[in-house]
């Protein structure tokens, strides 16, 4: 969000702070004291106290009476569930994702863009051992993932570079590409062949291939990707066997989206 929008008369800072408090909880901050909440969000303790009291009253956070620490209540899931239930793309994609998952018996997912990240909105998990599980709502960066590069491949080059410039280019593994020109070249190559790859750039042991879902204007709106553990797949097998499958799945979802 730019400063101009944040300083607009219609912008409500209390709502912003309330959402920031909810977003501050996670695997690293499962339970927090009032002071910790204030420090994490960057607001005063008195402001945090008023907002947390409101969130607690509404049922979005709960407080342990003994430790006096707060944690998220399951009511926050209502908002996410409402989004998933109202998302026509997910309804269109699920049959094709399920079929893809059955054909390859690996984890197949649909992600949508959110800033410089991709958010998991649907996933069919492999019945075999998986290295890591990404829950619905989890995010991953665009710059070093097959899903992110697949999505970027469906955008104009100036937008690709702008999103990469905004990204926190962190070396997540020894294989992570960090040079914007090199990443852009990888994205443009993905555009030319129809699918993107990520070989252990985001997570060691993961070989990924993805393809974009396009709207009627030919612009990417989401991405399909499959995770192939290196213990079961070689790079050549990923490209030779899984890439055609992910292309077919993404194209089927694209056709379904365009038909609505």
Q: For the segment 6-27, what is each residue's pLDDT rounded down to a tens digit?
A: 778 889 988 999 999 999 998 7
Report the pLDDT averaged over residues 112-127. Answer: 95
Tell me the C-alpha to C-alpha distance, in Å, between residue 118 and each of 89, 115, 231.
Answer: 15, 8, 25
**Same-domain check for residues 117 and 51:** no
Q: Domain with 114 in it: what CATH number?
A: 3.30.450.40
The first and second tokens of residue 123, run together, are 């996933």
102: exposed, middle or buried (C-beta count within 10 Å: 0-12, 13-18, 19+)?
Answer: exposed
Measure the CA–CA gap between 31 and 50, rounded to whole angstroms. 18
**Residue 80 within any structural domain of the chain:** no
**Same-domain check for residues 179 and 202:** yes
Average pLDDT, the chain: 93
Measure the CA–CA gap between 221 and 216, rounded to whole angstroms. 10
Q: Of residues 190 and 84, which shows the higher confidence score?
A: 190
pLDDT, position 2: 62
**Same-domain check for residues 181 and 251:** yes
Q: Is the pLDDT of residue 190 over 90?
A: yes
Percent of the chain with pLDDT over 90: 83
Are 173 and 203 within 8 A, CB to CB?
yes
pLDDT in tens, 69-97: 999 999 998 988 898 888 999 999 999 99
Q: Is the pLDDT of residue 1 over 60?
A: no
**Residue 81 within any structural domain of the chain:** no
**Residue 209 within any structural domain of the chain:** yes
pLDDT, position 244: 97
Q: Is the pLDDT of residue 130 over 60?
A: yes
**Same-domain check for residues 145 and 203:** yes
Measure the CA–CA gap between 87 and 149, rounded to whole angstroms. 23
**Same-domain check for residues 130 and 231:** yes
Using 50, 70 and 90 to split pLDDT, how confident is the model at 194?
very high
**Same-domain check for residues 213 and 236:** yes
**Same-domain check for residues 139 and 240:** yes
**Residue 82 within any structural domain of the chain:** no
Q: Is the pLDDT of residue 132 over 90?
A: no
Q: Is the pLDDT of residue 46 over 70?
A: yes
**Same-domain check for residues 92 and 151:** yes
Q: Is the pLDDT of residue 45 over 90?
A: yes
Q: Is the pLDDT of residue 255 over 90?
A: yes
Using 50, 70 and 90 to split pLDDT, how confident is the model at 218?
very high
Say whether pTM exceeds 0.75.
yes
Report the pLDDT averaged over residues 169-186. Answer: 96
Counted domains in the chain: 2
Range of 101's domain?
A: 87-259
**Same-domain check for residues 190 and 92:** yes
**Same-domain check for residues 128 and 14:** no
């Amino acid at each position: 969000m730019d400063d101009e929008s944040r300083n607009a008369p219609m912008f409500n800072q209390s709502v912003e702070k309330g959402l920031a408090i909810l977003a501050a909880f996670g695997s690293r901050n499962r339970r927090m004291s009032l002071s910790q909440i204030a420090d994490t969000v960057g607001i005063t303790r008195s402001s945090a106290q008023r907002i947390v009291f409101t969130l607690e009253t509404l049922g979005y956070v709960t407080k342990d009476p003994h430790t006096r620490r707060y944690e998220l209540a399951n009511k926050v899931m209502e908002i996410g569930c409402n989004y998933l239930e109202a998302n026509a793309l997910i309804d269109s994609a699920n049959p094709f994702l399920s079929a893809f998952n059955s054909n390859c018996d690996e984890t197949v997912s649909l992600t949508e863009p959110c800033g410089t990240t991709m958010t998991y909105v649907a996933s069919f998990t492999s019945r075999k051992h998986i290295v890591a599980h990404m829950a619905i709502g989890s995010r991953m960066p665009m710059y070093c993932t097959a899903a992110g590069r697949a999505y970027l491949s469906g955008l104009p080059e100036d937008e690709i570079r702008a999103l990469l410039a905004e990204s926190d280019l962190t070396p997540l593994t020894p294989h992570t590409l960090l040079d914007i020109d090199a990443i852009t070249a990888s994205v443009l190559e993905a555009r030319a062949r129809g699918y993107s790859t990520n070989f252990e750039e985001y997570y060691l042991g993961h070989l990924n291939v993805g393809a974009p879902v396009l709207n009627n204007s030919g612009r990417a709106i989401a991405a399909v990707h499959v995770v192939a553990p290196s213990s079961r797949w070689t790079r050549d097998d990923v490209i030779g066997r899984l890439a055609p499958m992910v292309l077919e799945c993404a194209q089927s979802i694209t056709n379904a989206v365009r038909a609505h």
